[in-house]
Structure 1
Amino acid sequence: MSRCDLSFLADDGFPLKGTLFEGSGTRPLVLISSATAVPRGLYAGFAEAVVRAGARAALIYDYRGTGGSPRPAGWKKRIGMKDWALLDLPAAARALDAVSPDHPMVGVGQSYGGQALGLSGIPGRFLRYGMVATMSGYWRGLDDRLAGPRMFLVGVPASLLFRDMPRRLGVGEPIPGSVFRDWARWCRMPDYFFDDPSLPETARYRDVRTPILAIGLTDDPWGTRRAVRALMRHYENAHVEERWLSPSDGGGQKIGHLGFFRSRFAETLWPQFAAWLLDGTPMTIGTTSDAQA
């Protein structure tokens, strides 16, 4: 297996950075899209695992304004959270396509990376799409009832003072303040960004017919069943299977909102997820319910 960093451009000229893992397998290409404020490095172990399992290649990348894709000197255009889905995800898919044009591709999205599929305009490029801890961000749908007040009363004022959110505020890795304000605005809306009249691209959700496996974690205070269902109902024309995993499925270790892709689950949670992505093999761990037929 080889590993190399890639530089590629979004349609508006923003430079993005990713890491490509290539092998000799013939199974699908795998595009991995991050959660908000999570650097691509978190997904490196899983990317290596799917390539070892036979994927032709896997790509992890950083959204604009985050990690290895910082705002370039002289960039004046506002960075919005929707840009990650409308511009960055399609650019990453094109970069992965260049490895093996017209080869089958599957997608993985954690949290925002799953929300982004419906906005991206390219769902037809994916044979299957696996989502982990992907949910509506409406704050009253979370079990962490302090998340909203922290975001609105602390995070939003800070986003007006700093161009990029300071790491010490606890939102994760630095993201543009403008992105944080978009996120906070959506989290106030009962139907999340579907209530945002400035985001007509939500209508694209009806065009998604890609089979989706939505993995929820029973110990995730943000990706609750009601929050996951609130988002998945918008994938109304796709077959969506919900699969709920608990710490007991991972050897008794806490999973939470962001833990699934940590290497401690390489032998317990990853193999069946990878098999579903690459071959469509049903998962048998956890419990399941069909959100849509």
Structure 2
Amino acid sequence: MTPSLAQSAQADAHQNALEVRKRDIRFEADDGFPLAGTLFEGDGQKPLILISSATAVPRGFYAAFATAAVKADARGVLIYDYRGTGDSIRPRSWSKRIGMADWALHDMPAAAKTLDAIAPGHPMVGVGQSYGGQALGLSGISDRFARYGMVAVMSGYHRGLDDRWAGPRMFLLGVPLSLLFRDMPKWMRLGEPIPATVFRDWARWCSMPDYFFDDPDLEETARFTKVHTPILSLRMTDDPWGTERAVVSLMKHYDHAPILRRWISPKDAGSPIGHLGFFRSRFAETLWPPFLAWLLDGTEFTAGSPPTQ
């Protein structure tokens, strides 16, 4: 056995032997909303990882990746549900409007604070899929992250997508339905139910050419220019929503952050990926290792190819 193979075998054995401790937790946002999360811990000393999910995607979707991250020596990983979604259930006594911006302005900072408490001051990195990458700029806590990995993070402006039915489905069906229900029905196939008020915010932003940057009431968009965190932006070439123009339209607002952009194709991954597929366990041996190496160690990410524009 050559030295490189021996080292690889030892690394695999070490990873398989690592114990991953998993527990569900409850914590509160700064405005008192109760949130649900799952904390994964091990004995590694590499950075903590906060994972912020895509819209209408429950935290459990990221559990396999979180486990792999701890086995790659992450100190701990937190996945969580935004308010009004998953297990972050709206209390009966809650009378305030739930807005989509609340996920970034209140929930993400609360999750980061909760994760920080298990190892105060320990290095932390972040992962954001779709909305979870948009949230970094709005949150005001970007300086807490040593690096931030963004997967399928793009502007939601409907004319920037390759899904021609996205606009009609959202505006002609979704918005009227949102006036009838407190939470969007699951049969709409948006994913898990989200508050109807969140859906209307989302639809309004998706009708604007520059997405929520055109919303005069969302002053926190000014925070994007203050982000200096190194970012890895991954786009899947078979993603009908995360088109090149949609990704470029959003990422241009992180204008003071060093950004590495890589486009990942089904050929690179070994199978179709789409908008949400990156975190499915079938990519544990192909896409996850270089992504985790960049997150945890700052190792150069060379998978895929650079963008064409």
**One fold, TM greater than 0.5?**
yes
Aligned residues: 290
What does 1:211-290 correspond to in 2, within 5 Å? Answer: 211-251=230-270, 253-289=271-307
For residue 33 of structure 2, what is the aligned residue in structure 1?
14
Q: Please give the alpha-carbon distance, in whole angstroms, between the structure 2 residues aligned to 1:19 and 1:137.
A: 28
Q: Please give the alpha-carbon distance, in whole angstroms, between the structure 2 residues aligned to 1:226 and 1:289.
A: 11
What does 1:1-293 correspond to in 2, within 5 Å? Answer: 1-251=20-270, 253-289=271-307
Query: Structure 1 stretches (4+) deviating beyond 2 angstroms?
Result: none
Specify the SS of the correspondent of 1:287. coil
Instruction: Give the conservation status (yes or no) of the 8 Å contact 1:240–1:290.
Output: no
Instruction: Give the conservation status (yes or no) of the 8 Å contact 1:241–1:289.
Output: no
How far did 1:290 drift? Answer: 9.6
How far did 1:289 drift? Answer: 4.2
Instruction: State percent identity of aligned pairs.
Output: 71
TM-score of the superposed pair, with normalisation by structure 1: 0.98
Partner AA of 2:281 in structure 1: S
Q: Please give the alpha-carbon distance, in whole angstroms, between the structure 2 residues aligned to 1:16 and 1:67.
A: 10
Partner AA of 2:68 in structure 1: A
Instruction: Give the conservation status (yes or no) of the 8 Å contact 1:30–1:55.
Output: yes
**Unmatched 5+ residue regions in structure 1?**
none
Specify the SS of the correspondent of 2:277. coil
Q: Please give the alpha-carbon distance, in whole angstroms, between the structure 1 residues aligned to 2:27 and 2:119.
A: 16
For residue 5 of structure 2, what is the aligned residue in structure 1?
none
Specify the SS of the correspondent of 1:25. coil
Q: Please give the alpha-carbon distance, in whole angstroms, between the structure 1 residues aligned to 2:190 and 2:213.
A: 23
Partner AA of 2:44 in structure 1: G
Q: CA, structure 1 residues 290+116, in 2 after alignment: closer, same or farther (shift >3 Å)?
A: farther
Instruction: Give the conservation status (yes or no) of the 8 Å contact 1:217–1:257.
Output: yes
Give CA-to-partner distance per residue, 1:165-221, whole Å, 9 cap, x none: 000011110000000000000000000000000100000001000000000000000
Q: CA, structure 1 residues 290+118, in 2 after alignment: closer, same or farther (shift >3 Å)?
A: farther
Q: Please give the alpha-carbon distance, in whole angstroms, between the structure 2 residues aligned to 1:161 and 1:179.
A: 14
Bigger CA radius of gyration = 2
Specify the SS of the correspondent of 1:143. coil
For residue 13 of structure 2, what is the aligned residue in structure 1?
none
Specify the SS of the correspondent of 1:137. coil
